[in-house]
Amino acid sequence: MVTSLLLLAILGSTAGIRTEKVGVLLMHGFWQAFDTQHHLDFKDFVEGKTGVKVHLIDAFNDLAAPPTESSLTPMWIQVPAILEQVKNISAQYEKIIAVGFSQGGVIWRAMIESWDNHNVDTFISLASPQHGISDIPVKYLEPLPKHSIPSTLSYSYKLGISSGIKEVLKSLFYLPRVQNVFAPSNYFLEPKLRHLYLQTAFFPRLNNEVGSAEEKQRQKNNFQSLRKLLLIGGPDDGTVIPWQSQIFGFRTADKKIVPMEETQFYKDDLFGLKTLDEKGAITTCIKGGLRHSDFPNSSEVLNDCVLPAIQDVISN
Ligand SMILES: *[C@@H]1O[C@H](CO)[C@@H](O)[C@H](O)[C@H]1NC(C)=O
Ligand SMILES: *[C@@H]1O[C@H](CO)[C@@H](O)[C@H](O)[C@H]1NC(C)=O
């Protein structure tokens, strides 16, 4: 009896049998690990309140210069590697809830777009720069090797430079030497430097601004097959600039903030955002008074935003 139960447990976890209906998979952010305290708190909360298992994805943790794997590793290397691990975990569930915090939310969008016939029911984007970042917080540049381009940038940023010089410095984020060693530069988007952005390998492809017609259609089909997309963010985040990027808004070259509905991503329905919105799939949950790293374990976020979304999946 014990032996057959044990056998069942082993088979259930390794043979890809869908033993459970719903599972949650959380991808951590930049300069963090899967077991950072606020992620452990998220897991305890969700498992305690709903009984749904939460997997904290153990990949590309912390900071280490490439070629060592870390959250600095370029997105085009992280995404396919993490997807292998995610597919493995997801195979035991009928449907999954994808949760991505910060950079992890951009990684999750990329995994969903590239994963044919995925079983992601709901995608919870938690304080993620979904429309990119137009400035990189200085603290993010600090841990980089001394004398590297990003650390020089950090120094210049601190001197309170004029906007003209800042633009020149910003163009350096698009250099292959920076793109290849500093993941946040992969989703850096300064509207005034659009021509440089379009030459980079990751974000314009993810956003279906470049790529073959066939590849674009495939990414769009995968993304718009989500049943629900929950965008969580807030004006006091302080790290995602502009904060509206968390809810797919952004700013124009003349520094005007535009809501999701007025962005090109949405108006041209580049990767299915408009389609999702028109079928009522998109919900936003905006919370003030929270700093960036507060989002994963804020009781307000957990109770008012995350819990209803998970209960909705369970009851569906
Ligand atoms: C959230 O996690 C941080 C550490 O990441 C901790 O300092 C803080 O006390 C936690 N907040 C709550 C509400 O549990
Ligand atoms: C997938 O899961 C199996 C069984 O748990 C494990 O042996 C294998 O290493 C996993 N593969 C990846 C890529 O995580």
Ligand 2 in reach of 14 Cβ (< 6 A) = yes
Q: Indicate if the pLDDT at residue 139 is higher than 70.
A: yes
Q: What residues contact residue 71 under an 8 Å CB cut-off, 6+ apart?
A: 28, 29, 30, 31, 32, 60, 61, 62, 63, 103, 183
User: pLDDT tens, 205-264?
Assistant: 999 999 999 999 999 999 999 999 999 999 999 999 999 999 999 999 999 999 999 999
pLDDT in tens, 15-58: 445 558 999 999 999 999 999 999 999 999 999 999 999 999 99
Question: Above 80 in pLDDT, residue 138?
Answer: no
Residue 56 CA, ligand 2 centroid: distance in Å: 15
In a domain? residue 2: no
Q: Domain limits at 118?
A: 19-132+201-314
pLDDT at 162: 66
What ligand 2 atom has the least distance to the C-alpha of 85? 14
- What number does the ligand 1 atom closest to the CA of 37 have? 5
The answer to whether the beta carbons of residues 305 and 45 sit under 8 Å apart is: no
User: Domain for residue 195, yes or no?
Assistant: no
Single pTM value for the model: 0.91
Residue 171 lies in a domain: no
CATH number for the domain harbouring residue 296: 3.40.50.1820
Model confidence over 263-285: pLDDT tens digits?
A: 999 999 999 999 999 999 999 99
83 close to 115: Cβ distance less than 8 angstroms:
yes
Query: Phi and psi (nearest 5°) for 8?
Result: -60, -40
Calculate how far, in angstroms, residue 86's C-alpha sits from the geometric centre of ligand 2: 10
The answer to whether residue 192 sits within a structural domain is no
**pLDDT, greater one: 206 or 140:** 206
Evaluate whether residue 191 is within a structural domain: no
Distance 78 CA to ligand 2 centre (A): 17
For 80-87, which contacts have Cβ atoms below 8 Å and span 24 or more sequence positions? 80/114, 82/27, 82/57, 82/107, 82/111, 83/111, 83/114, 83/115, 85/57, 85/58, 85/59, 86/25, 86/57, 86/111, 87/115
- Helix or strand or coil: residue 42? helix
Give the chain's end-to-end CA distance (angstroms, integer).
34
C-alpha 70/C-alpha 59 separation (Å) is 8
* CA atoms of 208 and 198, how far apart (whole Å): 11
| Rounded-to-10 torsion of CA 221, 226, 228, 229 | -60
Do 133 and 189 meet the contact criterion of CB atoms below 8 Å apart? yes
- What is the position in ligand 1's atom list of the atom closest to the CA of 296? 1
Contact between 283 and 231 under an 8 Å Cβ cutoff? The reply is yes
Tell me, in angstroms, the distance from the centre of ligand 2 to residue 88's CA: 6
**Cβ of residue 303 lying under 6 Å from some atom of ligand 2:** no
Counting the structural domains of the chain, the total is 1
Is the CB–ligand 2 distance for residue 311 below 6 Å? Answer: no
* Single-letter residue type at 46: V
Q: Does pLDDT of 128 surpass 80?
A: yes
Reported as a pLDDT band with limits 50, 70 and 90, residue 14 is: very low
Q: Flag whether 12 is in a domain.
A: no
Q: Quick one: which of 228, 224, 140 has its CA closest to 188?
A: 140
Say yes or no to pLDDT of 153 above 80: no
Please give the sequence-ordered ranges of beta strands (E in DSSP) within 185-234, or none if there are none.
228-233
Cβ of 116 closer than 6 Å to ligand 2, yes or no, is no
Q: Is any ligand 2 atom within 6 A of the Cβ of residue 91?
A: no
Collapsed DSSP state (helix, strand, coil) of residue 149:
helix
Ligand nearest the Cα of residue 9 is 2
| 257 in any annotated domain | yes
The answer to whether 114 touches 219, Cβ cutoff 8 Å, is yes
> Which among 113, 90, 85 has a CA at the least distance from the CA of 22?
90
Domain contains 181: no
Residue among 88, 92, 111 to mutate when testing ligand 2 (max atoms within 8 A of CB):
88
